[in-house]
Chains A and B, each alone.
Chain A
Amino acid sequence: MTRSEDRLTAAFVAVALVALFGGALTGVFQALEHSGLNVYPSTPLVKSYYHSLTLHGVLNVLVWTTFFICGFVPFLVTRALGRPLALPGLAWLTFWVMLGGLVLAAIPLLGNAATVMFTFYPPLKAHWAFYVGLTLVVVGTWLVTLNLALTWRAWRRQHPAERTPLAAFMGLVTFAMWTIASLGIAAEMLVMLIPWSLGLIGGTDPLLARVLFWFTGHPIVYFWLLPAYMSWYALVPRQAGGKLFSDPLARTSFILFLVLSTPLGFHHQYTDPGIHVGWKLVHAFLTFAVFFPSLLTFFNVVASLESGARARGGRGWVAWFARLPWGDPSLAAQVLAMLLFTFGGIGGLINASYNLNLVVHNTAWIVGHLHLTVGTAVTLTFMGICYWLVPHLAGRALWSRRLALAQVWTWFVGMIVFSNTLHRLGLMGMPRRTMIGAAAYVQPEWKVLLPLVGAGGALLFLSSVLFFLNLVLTLVASRAPAPAVPAFSEALSGADHAPAILDRWRPWIALAFVLIAIAYGPTLVRLALTTPFNTPGLRVW
C-alpha cells in the first residue's frame, strides 16, 4: 500500500468526521427541544428547529456516510487486490469535485436558504447552489465507481483464473449497485430541480420528484449498509478470533443486493396519491425479497462470530457470545451495532408491510427506525472502523482503549432509550420532522415519554463527544506507533466453493435493469407523458 492511497482515505474520512460532528451537535438540540428545552434562540448559526433538522439530516445521512464510504471502500478494495488505484490523479480529482460540491451546497444550507430537509421535496425551493452542490457529490461517487472498475480490470488481466478477493468483490458490488440506483436522483436534479431553481423552467411536479427521489432514496440505505457489511464479513470474523463462515453465501447475498436493492422504492410512497396500488404491492413483494439476503448476512456474520468465540473457549448455545473479545472497542462497536440492527431489520419489515405502513408512515416511529439502521448499524460500525483506521492513517496508536469502550457502550444504551421511545411515540401518532415542543396537539400520553427523547439524545451526544475527544487526542497526544490494520478473514468455506457465475458482472447488472424496468417502467412512462410541471416553487421557512 502506497502512502498516497492512505492520504486519499484520510482526506475523505476527515471531511466525513467534520460532518458527523455537525450532525451530532444539531441532533442534540432537536432531542432537547422535544423534551421541552428550546435552545434555538441562543444558537448563533442555527436559525430554527427546521434549519437544525435539515443540517442534521444532510450532514449525517448524506455527507458523513458518503465521504466515509468513498474513503473506506477504495482503501479496502486496493488492499484486497494488492494494487493501487488505476487512476490516482482521477481519485484526487474526485475528492476535490466532491468537496467543491459539498462547499457549494453548504453555503445556502448554513445560510438558511435550503431548509428543505435531506429529502428536498419540491415545491419547497432551495437555492440552486444546494442542488448543484449535491449533484456534484453524486457525480464524484460515479468517478469512484469508474476508478474501482478500472482497478479491478487491471487486476483481472494479471489474474485471469482467480476469484476476485471477497473484500474487493463487495466494494465493487456496492459501487455498482449505487451507480445504478443514483440514476433516479440524478434525473430529478438534472431534469427537474436544477433548471427550475435557476429559473429556466417555471414549475415542477411533486409526485414525479418523489418517485425519482425514492428510486434512489431506498437503495441509498444499502449504499450505507454494504460497506458496514464489508467490515462485518471481511474483517470482523478475524477481529473476533475466528473465520468467516461461508464466502459463497457472502457473495450470493451481495449479488442479491445488487439485483434487488433498487426496484422497491414505492414502499416509501405507500401513502402517496397518484401511484396505483397494484404497483405499490409489487414493490412490497420485492422489499420482502431483499429481506432474504439480509437474513443470509445475519446468519453468516453471527456464525462467524460464533466461530471466533468458540476458538476462544466459548461454550453453550448462547453463552459463547460473552467470550467475544469485548475489550476491543472496534469489535465491541460493530457487534453492538449488529445487535441493534436486528431490531432495525424487524422494524423495516413492518414499514414495508403495505397496509401496516399506515400506522407508522411519517411518524416518530420512522425516526426511531432510521437511528437504528443508519444511526447505529452504519454509524456505530463506522466508528468501530475508525478505531483502527484513524490510528493507521495517523501513524499513532489510539489514545485510549477504555475511553473508546465507554463511548461504544454509551452509544448503545443511549440509542436503546432514544430509539425505543421514538418507536413508541410513533405508534401513538406523534409526527416526525415536527417541532413537538411548540406543537398545538401534543397528547397527554406523549408527554410522559418526551423527556426520554432528550435523555437518549443527550447520551448519544455525550458518546459522540467521547468519540471525537479520543480521535483528537490520538492525533495530538498519542506517542505509541499504530498497530497493524486488521487482516482479511479466512473462510471456513472459501471462494473456490462459490459458483463461477457470481464473478461475472453483466448478467447481474442486466437483471437489475430488467427488474427496475418492470417495477418502475409503467409508472415512470405514465408520469413522464402526463406530468404538467405546473406547481410553482415556494420558500416557506
Chain B
Amino acid sequence: MATRKATTVYLYELAWILPSFAIPVGMLVALVVTAFGAGIHLPGQERRIDPTKVAETAPFDTPGLVELAPGQYEVRMTAQIWAFAPNEIRVPAGSTVHFWATSKDVVHGLLIPKVHVNVMLLPGQVAHAVARFDTPGEYPIICHEYCGIAHHTMAGKVIVEAAR
C-alpha cells in the first residue's frame, strides 16, 4: 500500500515536472525568435564618456536633430536635471530615428511609449535606441527614473508630421 501510494505521487510529480520544463523552454524559443527574427533589440554596450565633460564631447557638444538621409534621423540628446536637450523633435511620418543620449548629472531614463524607446541614461555611458514613427501625432518623451524633486517635470515630445 505504501509503495503504491509513493508510486502514484511519483507519477503525478513526473506528469508535472515535464511540462514545467517544457513551458519555460518553449517561452525561451519564442523569445529568441522574436529578438532575432523580428529584430527587436535592447540597448547594448556602446562607449564610455566623461560625465563631467559631456558639453565638450562630440556629438553631445551640438545637441539636436540631424538628418542622415531621407527618412533617417539622428538625435544627439543630453539629459540633466530636469530637462532633455533637445526637448522637442519634429520628423515626418515614416521616419526612423536613432537616439544617442547620455546624462550630465544623475541617472535619468528615456521613455517614448507606443514606439518602445526605453533606455536608461547613466552618467558615464552613451546610450543608443532606435524607433520608427509611422503615425502622425505627438509622442511624449518621459524621464522614467527618479532624478530628484522635480523629476515629474522632466519631459519632451516628438512631433510626427504627415509626410510631405
| A540 within 8 Å of B (CB atoms) | yes
Task: Give residues 19-55 of B contacting A (CB, 8 Å).
Answer: 20-21, 23-25, 27-28, 31-32, 34-35, 40-46, 48, 50-52
Q: How far is the CB of B52 from chain A (nearest CB, A)?
A: 7
Interface residue A320 (Cβ < 8 Å from any Cβ of B): no
B45 touches A355 (CB 8 A): no
Size bracket of the B interface: 35 or more
Question: Are B28 and A274 in contact, with the CB atoms below 8 A?
Answer: no
- Interface residue? A249 (CB, 8 A): yes
What's the least CB distance linking A152 to chain B, in Å? Answer: 27
Whether, in the assembled complex, B5 has its beta carbon less than 8 Å from a beta carbon of chain A, the answer is yes
The answer to whether A274 and B147 have CB atoms under 8 Å apart is no
User: With the chains together, A273 CA to B122 CA distance in Å?
Assistant: 8
A317 CB contacts on chain B under 8 angstroms: none
Chain A CB within 10 Å — which of B20, B126, B146 has the most? B146
Assign chain A's interface to a size class. Answer: 35 or more
**Nearest chain-A residue to B45 (Cβ)?**
A276
- Closest residue to B147 on the A side, CB-wise? A540
**Does B148 belong to the interface (CB within 8 Å)?**
yes
Q: Are A123 and B106 in contact (CB under 8 A)?
A: yes
Give the CA-CA distance A438 to B140 in the complex, in Å: 16
Q: Which of B9, B34, B105, B126 contacts A540 (CB 8 A)?
A: B105
Interface residues of B in 54-78 (CB under 8 A from A): none
A295 to B31, CA, bound (A): 19
Cβ-defined partner of A432 (8 Å) among B5, B123, B144: B144
> Is A363 interfacial (CB 8 A cutoff)?
yes
> A207 and B152: CB pair below 8 A?
no
Q: Encode A267-287 as 1/0 by CB contact (under 8 A) with B.
A: 001111111110011001100
- Residues 349-401 (chain A) with a chain B CB within 8 angstroms: 349, 353-359, 361-363
Q: Nearest chain B CB to A273's CB is how many angstroms away?
A: 4
For window 200-224 of A, CB contacts with B under 8 Å fall at 205-207, 210
B148 with A493: CB separation less than 8 A: no
| Segment of A61-69, A324-332, A530-538 engaged in the interface with chain B | A530-538
Contact B28 A285 (CB under 8 A): yes
Whether B119 and A271, one on each chain, are in contact in the complex, defined by CB atoms closer than 8 angstroms, is yes
Task: Fill in one digit per residue for B77-89: 1 if any A CB lies within 8 Å of its CB, else 0.
Answer: 0000100000000
**Is A318 an interface position by the 8 A CB rule?**
no
Q: Contact: A277 with B41, CB < 8 Å?
A: yes
Docked CA distance A422–B34 (Å): 26
- Select one of B16, B105, B151 contacting A538, CB under 8 A: B105
A500-538 interface (Cβ within 8 A of B): 530, 532, 534-536, 538
Q: What separation, in Å, do the CA atoms of A303 and B13 have in the docked complex?
A: 10
A residues 37-56 near B (Cβ < 8 Å) are 48, 50, 53
Chain B interface: which of A20-28, A96-104, A439-447? A439-447
Show 10 A/B contacts (Cβ-Cβ < 8 Å), sorted by A: A124-B148, A206-B122, A273-B46, A274-B48, A274-B124, A275-B45, A281-B35, A292-B24, A532-B124, A540-B105
Residues of A at the B interface (CB closer than 8 Å) are 48, 50, 53, 117, 121, 123-124, 205-207, 210, 245-246, 249, 269-277, 280-281, 284-285, 288-289, 291-292, 295-296, 299, 303, 349, 353-359, 361-363, 428-429, 431-436, 438-441, 443, 492-493, 497, 530, 532, 534-536, 538, 540-541
